[in-house]
Amino acid sequence: MQNFREIGKKFGATKFQGDVYPGQTFESIYDDMFAPFRLYNPLKILEIGIQEGCSLKVWKEYFPYAQIVGIDNDISSLFEEERITTYLIDQSDEKKLRDLLERYKGFDIVIDDGGHFSTKQIVSLEILIPHTKYIYCIEDLDTSYPEIHPEFSKEGEKTIIMALKDVVDFAILEKNKIKRIEFRKRFCAIYCS
């Protein structure tokens, strides 16, 4: 079986091509993290943020039995193919997220690579994490810092980093189903139990 890097190169997914897009790769993180789930059947994966759909195709090939769901607020990103379904949903639209959860009865893995606005990421996290079975991932956490990315975060507003501190507090105090939280450069994975 091919690894993430090989599959990512095949589909041109930027998150798996560190040599082409320095500092933007998650290939080593995902290869290690998702290997134990690779052949799970059934498996439901939700990715927030579709763009050209390259990473959805990577998930489809990497997880040969998974049902892949993608959401985006750009209608031009939507497409359908075997085992991939996409929806026009803004990641901060609480009603549509709840409708999606009702339709799929939760997800095993969630990857947030959406708009990178903390206000939207927080809504998605709060609604989806209770219905995530294994892992909830958030990419590009550097957008939480207004001094680096003022287009995504405003000085004084609650950021996704602050919200993740709340998740840490809940995990330590055993107030929810969080088993482990792992931070890497620009990335967080929340392991659910």
Which residues does the annotation mark as catalytic?
A: 116
3-state secondary structure of 52: coil
Burial class (CB in 10 A: 0-12, 13-18, 19+), 172: exposed
DSSP E strands in 12-171: the ranges are: 43-48, 66-72, 84-88, 107-112, 132-139
C-alpha 16 chain-centroid distance: 14
Strands 178-184, 84-88: pairing kind: unpaired
Q: CA-CA distance, 68 to 50, in Å (whole number)?
A: 11
The total of other beta-carbon atoms located within 10 Å of residue 132's CB is: 22
Q: Judge whether 86 and 69 are in contact, CB under 8 Å.
A: yes
Q: Work out whether the CA dihedral 125, 121, 108, 95 comes out positive or negative.
A: positive
Q: CA-CA distance, 89 to 57, in Å (whole number)?
A: 19
